[in-house]
Amino acid sequence: MKIVILNVAVEKGSEFFDFDAMEKSAFSNKKRTQIYYAHPYSSWERGSNENTNRIIRRFIAKGHKISNYTKTRIKEFEQWINLYPRRILEFASPYELFNKELANLA
């Protein structure tokens, strides 16, 4: 099994206070990610996150409640986002790469 350690930049919100637990696998005590705090007002330090937020904003405007959308509509957004090719992924989609990784594990 291939283990990948991810570097994750987060904001200093209360949901990220327990970063020690977030770094560990749910299945073992081994470290699976590396958390670091991005600097305030430095969105370039969280590029993939900011890009994903921009993509979500195509469907749900900032300030609008997600609860106003049906589960079916949210699933449509998710499908579009997962099938959207990304430059950072060499113009493959997250869906394609996920399935490729699953095939490699089998």
Same domain, residue pair 33 and 84: no
**Nearest residue to 6 (alpha-carbon basis) of 65, 46, 56:** 46
pLDDT tens track for 63-79: 888 899 999 999 999 99
Name the pTM for this structure.
Answer: 0.60
80: CB partners within 8 A, 6+ apart:
59
Same domain, residue pair 66 and 21: no
**Tokens standing for 5?**
């350690």
pLDDT tens track for 83-99: 999 988 999 999 999 99
| The total number of structural domains that make up the chain | 2
**Looking at residues 36-48, what average pLDDT do you find?**
75
**Tokens standing for 101?**
């990784």
Distance between CA atoms of residues 4 and 7, nearest Å = 10
Q: Which domain holds residue 17?
A: 1-38
